[in-house]
Structure 1
Amino acid sequence: MNLEQMEYIKEIIHTQSMSIAAQNLHVSQSAISQSISLLEKELGIKLFKRSRFGTMPTEEGKSIVHNALKIVESIEKIKEDAQTITSTFKGELKIAAIPSLMNFLPKTLTLFKKDYPQIKVTIIEMESKNILKNIKEHSLDMGFTSIKKSFENSLPEHLLFKKLDYNAYFQVIVPKDSPLAFKQSLTVRDLYDYPIVLYTSQFWEEFIYSLVDNDSTVNVLFHTSNSEVLKKTVAEGLAISVLSSYLLTDDPYVETGRIIPISLADNHFVPDLSFGCIYSEKNPQHALVKKFQEYVSKLVNVI
C-alpha cells in the first residue's frame, strides 16, 4: 500500500473512470489498473466495479475508499501547512477578473501581501470568455468571472468553479441634472430615448441588447474599456449607462452627486449567471491559488 495508490483512488472516484483518471494523472490506464489490482490483492477486497454508470466503489470497498480519500486530504493539508510554516510559497500569481468582480480584489491583495510579501501578484481586467481560455492554457492561475448557470455542469473535470456569495444588481447611472435622476427606479423603456455609453465587453453588449424589444433600437454613443471614462461621460451629461452595483461602491462620482445611480426595475438577465472564481487542479500553482482563495473568503463568502 502506498500514497500513489491513494491518489489513484481519489482520481477514479472524482472521474468515475479509470481511463479518464489515467489521462488526468498522465499515466497509462494499465498502470492504474495494475496498481489497484495489487492493492485489492493485498487487502483481499474488491474495491471497484464497472457499470453503465462508470467505475464505482463496491459495497465492501466503500469504507476503504473513504479512508483513502481522508489520507489524501490529510497529506494535502500537511503540505499546505508545511508551506505556510516555512514560508516556501514563492513565485507569481496571475489573476484576472471581470470589471464587476474587481472591487474586492485590492482589499484581498492587501491582506494576502501582508502575510506573503515575497509573492508577486498580477491582477488584470479581462472578459469572461478570455478568462476561461487562459485558465485552460495556464496563462492565468485564477479567474474571477461570471458564467451561465446552464454552462456550469459542462466545465472540464479539472476546472473548479467556486461560487461567490455575490448579489450584484444592475443600476442605470445618469447625470445629476437628467430628468431620469428624479425617478426611484427605471424601466427598459425609460432608456430608449437616451444615448448610452457601453462598457466594452461581450457581456455588457448582450445585457443591453437583451433588454430591447423588436420595435426599438439602442442609441450607443460609444464603447469604452475604461470605467472612469464611462462615468465621466455620464457626469458630463453626454449619455447614460448601466453598471453593476459593485462598480459603484465608494465611487467618488456617486459620492459627490455628479452621477446618480437608479435601480433597473425589469432586469431579467442576471438570474442566469453565477459569479465565482475558477482555477485548474492541474495548475502547478494550485496550492498557492487555494491559499489566495482563503483570503478571498475573508471578504466574500465562497459557496
Structure 2
Amino acid sequence: MNFEQLEYLKEVVETKSMSIAAKNLHVTQSAISQSISLLEKEFGIQLFKRSRNGTIPTDEGKDIIAKVLEILKKADELKEEIQSLTSSYNGELKIATVPSIFMTYLPKALSKFKKDFPQIKVTIIEMDNREVIEEVNLEKVDLGLIALFNPVEQRFAEQITFHSLHSQGTFNVIVPNDSVLAFSKELELIDIKEYPFVIYGKNFYKNLIEDFEKKYGLLNVIFRSTNSEVIKKAVSEGIGISLFSSLMLIDDPYLESGRIVSIPLTGYPLNFNLSFGGIYSKSRSQSRLIKKFLEYFEV
C-alpha cells in the first residue's frame, strides 16, 4: 500500500467512476483498476462494486475507505504544517475580481493583508464574472473573486476550489431623486422596461436580462459603461435609471447624499440573491498564500 494507491481510491470514491478518476488523475483506467485490485488483495476484501449509480463502495469497503480518507486528510495537514515551518510567505499574488467585490470587501482585506505581509506584491485586475472564471481556469491569475447566481448549481472545473465569502446581495434599481419611481417600495423589471436605462458592465447584466428581452422585448438602453461612477452620475442627472447589486451601493456617496434612490428589484428575472466567493486552482504554486489572503475577508 502506498499514497498513490490511496489517492486513486479517493478519486474513485469522489467520482464514482474509474474512467473519470483516471481522466482526472491523468493515468490510464487500467492503472486505476490494477491499483484498486492490489489494495483489495492486500486488505482481503472487495472495496467497490459496480451498479447503476456507478462504482460505489461495498458495505465492507466503507469502513476501510473512511480510514483511508482520514489518513490522506492527516497527510495533507502534515504537508501544510511542514511547509509553514520551513518557509515564509513570499512572491506575488495576482487577483482578478468583479467590480462589486473590488469596490467593497477587497480594499479592506487588502489593507490588512499588506500590513502583515508587505513583502508580497499584489496585482489586481477588474473584470466581469465570465472573464474572471476564464482567467482562473487558464491559470493566468492566482485568485478570482466572483459573484454567483446559484452557488448550488454552479459547476467549476475539477481543479478549481471555491471559497465562500459568506456574503450575499440582491438587485436594486437606482433612480434620480426627483423621479416618480423614487417613491416605490419595490419594482419589477417588466414594469419599468420602457424607462431609459444606463447599464453598468460589459456582460454581467447583459447575460442576466437576455432571456427577459427575448420574452418581453428589448430594454430602452441609452448607453452602457464599465465605469460605475459614470453610471451613477448619469442617473443622478436624470439621464436614465440603472441596475446595481446591493453590494455595490454600500457606503455610496450618491446614495448617502440623496442624489439617487435605491429600490429593491423583485420578480423575474432578478428575484434571487447573489453569493460572493473566491476561486483558485488546486495546482497553483501559491495556493498556501491564496488561502492566507482569503482569511482576511473573514477578519
TM class by smaller structure: 0.7 to 0.9
Q: Which residue of 1 aligns with 2:231?
A: 230
Following TM superposition, by how much is the alpha carbon of 1:44 offset from its aligned partner in structure 2, in angstroms? Answer: 2.5
Give the CA deviation at 1:243: 0.7
* 1:119-198 map, 5 Å: 119-149=120-150, 152=153, 154-188=155-189, 191-192=192-193, 194-198=195-199
One-letter identity of the residue aligned with 1:129: R
Question: What is the alpha-carbon distance in structure 2 between the residues aligned to residue 209 and residue 23 of structure 1?
Answer: 35
TM-aligned CA deviation for residue 121 of structure 1: 2.7
CA distance in 2, matches of 1:46, 1:192: 62
* More deviation, 54-63/162-171: 162-171
Shift of 1:188: 3.4
Task: Tell me, in whole angstroms, the C-alpha distance in 1 between the residues paired with 2:35 and 2:194.
Answer: 69
* RMSD, aligned CA: 3.0
Distance of 1:130 and 1:224 partners within structure 2: 17
Q: Match of 2:140, SS?
A: coil
- Structure 1 residue 99 and structure 2 residue 96: aligned? no
The Cα shift of 1:224 comes to 0.4
Q: How does 1:257-296 map to 2 (within 5 A)?
A: 257-266=258-267, 268-271=269-272, 275-296=276-297
Q: Which residue of 2 aligns with 1:250?
A: 251
Question: Does the aligned pair in 1 maintain the 2:149–2:272 contact within 8 Å?
Answer: no
Any unmatched runs of 5+ in structure 2? none
Q: Deviations over 1:198-238 (max 9, x none)?
A: 11232212445655696665222211001111112222332
Identity, in percent, stands at: 49
Cα deviation code 1:72-92 (max 9, x no counterpart): 111212222333344433333
Q: Mean Cα displacement is larger for which, 153-162 or 99-108?
A: 153-162
Structure-1-length-normalised TM-score: 0.83
SS at match of 2:264: strand
Cα 1:11/1:209, change in 2 over 3 Å: closer
State how far apart, in whole Å, the 2-side matches of 1:286 and 1:46 are.
36
Q: State how many pairs are aligned.
A: 298
Kept in 1, the 8 Å contact 2:168–2:274? The answer is: no
Are 2:46 and 1:46 aligned? yes
Task: Sort the Cα spacing of 1:117 and 1:14 in 2 relative to 1 into closer, same or farther, 3 A.
Answer: farther
Contact 1:209 1:218 in 2 (8 A): no
Q: Which moved more, 1:5-14 or 1:210-219?
A: 210-219
**TM-score, normalization: structure 2?**
0.84
Q: Unaligned regions of 5+ residues in structure 1, if any?
A: none
Q: By how many angstroms is 1:171 displaced? A: 1.7
